[in-house]
Structure 1
Amino acid sequence: MRQPPLRPDTLQARRASGIALRALPAWLSVLLSTSLASLSGPAWALYKVVGPDGRVTYTDRAPVDKPAKAIKANGASVPTDALPYELQKVVSRFPVTLYTGNNCTPCDTARQLLKARGVPFTEKTVVSSEDIRQFRSQEATDQLPTVRIGQKQLSGLQHNDWTAYLDAAGYPATSALPPGYQHSPPTPLVPIEPKPGNAPGASDAAPGTPTTPVAPAGNTPAGIRF
Structure 2
Amino acid sequence: MAGSAAAQVYRSVGPDGRVVYSDKPPAANARDNAPAGAGTGAGGSSAGGLPYQLNQVAQRFPVTLYSGKDCAPCDSGRNLLVNRGIPFTEKTVNTDADVKALQRLTGDTNLPVATVGGQRLSGFSDAEWSQYLDAAGYPKSSQLPSTYRRPAAAPLVAARPVAAAPAAAASAAASAPEAPPAPSVAPQRTTTNPAGIRF
Tell me the TM-score normalised to structure 1 length: 0.53
Please state how far the C-alpha of 1:168 moved relative to its aligned partner.
Answer: 0.4
Larger-gyration structure (1/2): 2
Please say if residues 46 and 150 of structure 2, whose CA atoms lie closer than 8 Å, have aligned partners that are also in contact: no
Q: Taking CA–CA contacts closer than 8 Å with sequence separation of 6 or more, which of the two structures ends up with the larger relative contact order?
A: 1
Q: Partner amino acid for 1:92?
A: Q
1:134 lines up with 2:108 in the alignment: no
Q: Partner amino acid for 1:124?
A: K
Please state how far the C-alpha of 1:166 moved relative to its aligned partner.
Answer: 0.1
Task: Name the residue aligned to 1:179.
Answer: 146
Runs (4+) of structure 1 exceeding 3 A deviation are none
Please state how far the C-alpha of 1:196 moved relative to its aligned partner.
Answer: 4.8
Please state how far the C-alpha of 1:193 moved relative to its aligned partner.
Answer: 1.7
Task: Name the residue aligned to 1:45.
Answer: none
Task: Name the residue aligned to 1:188.
Answer: 155
Task: Name the residue aligned to 2:69.
Answer: 102
Please state how far the C-alpha of 1:195 moved relative to its aligned partner.
Answer: 2.0
Task: Name the residue aligned to 2:197.
Answer: none
Task: Name the residue aligned to 2:43.
Answer: 76
Please say if residues 89 and 153 of structure 2, whose CA atoms lie closer than 8 Å, have aligned partners that are also in contact: yes
Task: Name the residue aligned to 2:92.
Answer: 125
Equivalent pairs, count? 125
Q: Partner amino acid for 1:144?
A: L
In structure 2, C-alpha distance between the alignment counterparts of 1:131 and 1:87, rounded to whole Å = 30
Q: What are structure 1's unaligned runs of at least 5 residues? A: 1-73, 199-226
In structure 2, C-alpha distance between the alignment counterparts of 1:88 and 1:131, rounded to whole Å = 29
1:161 lines up with 2:128 in the alignment: yes
Q: What are structure 2's unaligned runs of at least 5 residues? A: 1-40, 166-199
Tell me the TM-score normalised to structure 2 length: 0.60
Q: Partner amino acid for 1:189?
A: L
Q: Partner amino acid for 1:150?
A: G
1:144 lines up with 2:111 in the alignment: yes
